[in-house]
Structure 1
């Protein structure tokens, strides 16, 4: 993705997530500068101490040792403060990116999100933000340190010996050359690692969410083996990444060692000739180490940039995708009619619906009947605007469904899925989560008693979601229907987990609700179908209507 090399793309991220923390950035830069100035003074003072030892001036030696002590303490304190501010800055910026990605995922079209695994989405939110922020903060702080270190080191080194400085500076083009050679390999290896990490995260979430089935079917051994292989795959690609980075750093270190040896030989020659003092050489060596360290940091930044490119691509793929929310358009106060006119919908180039039509013009209970995979739930997904890329017309109150604002539509359309939407919270919170206005407590109490949910109300567990049976989860969904004010209600196999007595009670409430509203139910049960005001038969997938 070439756009990741475009400065404008980086500027967008910096402007949105880094610069809002400018106060902390300024504090960090000030602390870094104070630390650099202190650290740059230490080699000079140390070299001075050695020269004073050589001429045996003990009084001045003691004075400069005290100065060195103060400088070292100040540098240590500034280093601690730098780490503290840097961590706060990193967490705040990283949380901003995570919030933005989390919000974007919630607003992104369902068709797009459907192509991702749950683990992959979790991995993108959790890891991508941290890596991107870490890179930019390291970049800013390192640039400040590198620039000042290079400038001050270079100035003092030139003052000590221009000849030695010229040899020391040779490292710069060599470092860039090594990074350039390995650049494409690093990016490729990082992509491999991210793919394996996503696969690992998906597998872990799939396993944890299916623990009951794994235990009941004695599949623990298989899943342990598969998990071990996922970890091994992750390790292999991680080690491959590490080998490349180690190769780059080893070459850089080799160049540094060779140059250091050359400088040591020339330094010895200059001391013998009387052109340099021993203290000068000690100071020069310290400044050269700082210069080489700064130049090496430039190389490391380049390596980090090559690695973070993949994370930037992942961030962009989520953030650049169209949002689902339609915030403008016609208002919808109540659904009075629904019409599908020659609607076709395909998923992965295969038609799920083909020229499908039906029409509802008055309140009532309507059933959709058909075989598994015939497209029944797809109809509900289209009415709810989870799917938007269809052919034909879907009309609500005579207007195309795409003309309505998403918020208005979903305030009027309640889609109760076959897989219950339950949170890890208490019963009341789960029932009232869809309501924008305060719910009447006595009315809520009556619904809980009617659906025999009193027992659940007393649960003290922190994880209600995994404590409930299928039937209890369906009762909570039915409670949402009974307490809500939606004018179009879509029910997808919502009674299958209930016993016969509770099923009769639920059907009576559904039928009662259908007197003034449109209810559409997907059910294979005859007792439901026989009380419907109308039935719509799904065609065979291989036959067009």
Structure 2
């Protein structure tokens, strides 16, 4: 129940709906009990044993409410029989019962009506909180997580909370109220018989709770498996070309079918245990009813408890009134246990500490004036350091290129400067200020990013270019596209800048996607630019267009260029050659070639002397 209670913090903005639901459910419970009590005088009339009440009863406080209600009905029946006959009395009692049933169901509807606002509001806020947390958490958190599992937590787990928790809330509120009002009436009719019934109930509770504990464990495993097969779907959709190209369909089918088979097995177990709740509670309730019929029948036959036959039958009706709420509560307990597993998975994200968070007194920096300095930094993703005691200064207005073989740590530096990851040792300074002392938003506002993989969104060309700015005019957007050599192909699109480019921009070529990425960075107009192998995945013609765009973009900016194709960085102010996380040499293109060392060998390998 701990996760259930934690989830309820999202209910705070919707408290008024919760209280309205409680009010309407309380009224439902009252009229539910009254609708049964109203039949006792009817039974008395039919059996010819109705209690004659000649004086109008007086209300003497809450403790005597049962006697007051019962005597009021008996007085009405007695008075009507005397003045209009037995049939008229029967009609009046039936009309009262009709009115009670109408009010009971009206308040039940109103309770569910306001509950819709409560449930839907919590589900919306829960999804919003999850999405906000995903945006807030560092990239390192997701590098070890499956995308499908995260999607499952936002979709099926949240849906499970709605189905299991929130829909069970009404049962948890309404049914105990019904039971309380019913028990008060049962005690008023016969305290001895009610105490006997209470001796039997704990046995039922123990049997139900023992099954519900096992249900939670199975539900957690089922939700984890949901994340697994959603991950398979996500990986399949993004890697469909490779799967088909390597004829790996059967291998992927086998993995997916194994996952769904495990899910099927778990869900069969969950549903079997869940479906056990209702028949088990009904059987235990029926066994209790039979015991009450035996014990209560003896009391009536012996006249020991002053209980009349019609009251005993009314008592049985009241006990049946408890059975459905008791079954609903047992189902709600099972549902809460099932939903608890989903709540645990959701809260594991929401309660994850953000390791790259702003300090309380973090500074806002709006301009870049002097130098970026990486000072004796060391960094590791897991166990082994990929950068070791690395130092580098990048003066304002210069272009510094990082080159080296794969795994030398080039892209790691591109991730550390915008603080996607934090260094383990050392510090990164901008104008002498440690980037950990800056607000992340203000730090990243100073930086433009163009990566090897063009990350675009299922939206229009215009909205993709304007992603990094709050407001931009049409002229500014077009100018950015022109600098990126993108305007020419954009105007040939069906709806020009309003054309939707599809999922990840898959309606465009690689070169077109990359030029849109550059236009996005140009429009942001940051003083610092990071280019992480921005041309390595392009053909020669596209590379020339993109390289031309990059050169125009880097004018009058400070640029950190991670390069795979060495032809793209020959004009850099400083080329830094890296091996295994360390600098092995640095200098300008001609200077490094003349040394005939590491850089010379890299150039030779690409046949570019």
**With structure 2 as the length reference, what TM-score do the two structures score?**
0.80
Corresponding residue SS for 2:492: helix
Please, which moves more after superposition, 333-342 or 386-395? 333-342
Q: Cα offset for 1:236? A: 1.1
The aligned residue for residue 359 of structure 1 is: 393
Corresponding residue SS for 2:386: strand
Q: Deviations over 1:181-206 (max 9, x none)?
A: 34653332232122212212222222
Rate the CA distance shift 1:542–1:435 in 2: closer, same or farther, 3 A.
Answer: closer
For the pair 1:408 / 2:442, whether they are aligned, the reply is yes
Give distance in 1, aligned partners of 2:451 and 2:411. Answer: 9
For the pair 1:30 / 2:70, whether they are aligned, the reply is no
The aligned residue for residue 48 of structure 1 is: 41
Q: How does 1:209-288 map to 2 (within 5 A)?
A: 209-247=238-276, 250-270=279-299, 272-273=301-302, 276-288=307-319
Q: Cα offset for 1:314? A: 2.7
The aligned residue for residue 140 of structure 2 is: 111
Rate the CA distance shift 1:218–1:502 in 2: closer, same or farther, 3 A.
Answer: closer
Tell whether the 8 Å contact from 1:448 to 1:454 is kept in structure 2 after alignment: no
Select which of 491, 496, 500 maps to 1:454. Answer: 491
- Give structure 2 stretches of 5+ with no counterpart: 49-84, 586-609
The aligned residue for residue 189 of structure 2 is: 160
- Give structure 1 stretches of 5+ with no counterpart: none
The aligned residue for residue 313 of structure 1 is: 344
Corresponding residue SS for 2:559: strand
Give distance in 1, aligned partners of 2:364 and 2:300. Answer: 87
The aligned residue for residue 600 of structure 2 is: none
The aligned residue for residue 77 of structure 1 is: 106
For the pair 1:495 / 2:535, whether they are aligned, the reply is yes
The aligned residue for residue 463 of structure 1 is: 502
Give distance in 2, aligned partners of 1:145 and 1:442. Answer: 61
Q: Deviations over 1:376-398 (max 9, x none)?
A: 22111111111014222222222
Corresponding residue SS for 2:529: strand
Q: How does 1:39-438 map to 2 (within 5 A)?
A: 39-55=32-48, 57-132=86-161, 137=166, 141-182=170-211, 184-247=213-276, 250-270=279-299, 272-273=301-302, 276-323=307-354, 324-326=356-358, 328-332=361-365, 333-334=367-368, 336-436=370-470, 438=471
Give distance in 1, aligned partners of 2:522 and 2:315. Answer: 81
Q: Cα offset for 1:30? A: 2.0
For the pair 1:441 / 2:434, whether they are aligned, the reply is no
Give distance in 2, aligned partners of 1:342 and 1:428. Answer: 42
Give distance in 1, aligned partners of 2:584 and 2:387. Answer: 9
Q: Cα offset for 1:137? A: 4.5
Q: Deviations over 1:255-280 (max 9, x none)?
A: 32221111123344445556655533
CA RMSD of aligned residues (A): 3.0
Give distance in 2, aligned partners of 1:161 and 1:278. Answer: 12
Tell whether the 8 Å contact from 2:375 to 2:392 is kept in structure 1 after alignment: yes
Rate the CA distance shift 1:193–1:79 in 2: closer, same or farther, 3 A.
Answer: same
- Structure with higher RCO (Cα < 8 A, 6+ apart): 1
Give distance in 2, aligned partners of 1:461 and 1:518. Answer: 33
Q: Deviations over 1:324-343 (max 9, x none)?
A: 44264233311632222332
Q: Cα offset for 1:127? A: 4.0
Q: Cα offset for 1:106? A: 1.1
Q: Deviations over 1:48-73 (max 9, x none)?
A: 33332333933222222222222223
Rate the CA distance shift 1:509–1:468 in 2: closer, same or farther, 3 A.
Answer: closer
Give the number of aligned pairs: 537
Rate the CA distance shift 1:495–1:515 in 2: closer, same or farther, 3 A.
Answer: same
Rate the CA distance shift 1:50–1:204 in 2: closer, same or farther, 3 A.
Answer: farther
Q: Which has the larger radius of gyration?
A: 2
Q: Cα offset for 1:543? A: 11
Tell whether the 8 Å contact from 2:157 to 2:223 is kept in structure 1 after alignment: no
For the pair 1:485 / 2:525, whether they are aligned, the reply is yes
Q: Cα offset for 1:491? A: 0.9
Q: Deviations over 1:201-225 (max 9, x none)?
A: 2222222333444445544444444
Tell whether the 8 Å contact from 2:225 to 2:263 is kept in structure 1 after alignment: yes
Corresponding residue SS for 1:167: helix
Rate the CA distance shift 1:512–1:422 in 2: closer, same or farther, 3 A.
Answer: closer
Q: Cα offset for 1:160? A: 2.5
Tell whether the 8 Å contact from 1:132 to 1:312 is kept in structure 2 after alignment: yes
The aligned residue for residue 544 of structure 2 is: 504
Give distance in 1, aligned partners of 2:116 and 2:204. Answer: 29
Tell whether the 8 Å contact from 2:148 to 2:230 is kept in structure 1 after alignment: yes
Corresponding residue SS for 2:38: helix
Give distance in 2, aligned partners of 1:543 and 1:285. Answer: 88
Please, which moves more after superposition, 334-343 or 452-461? 452-461
Q: Cα offset for 1:529? A: 2.7
Q: Deviations over 1:108-141 (max 9, x none)?
A: 2222233322222222233444545666645654
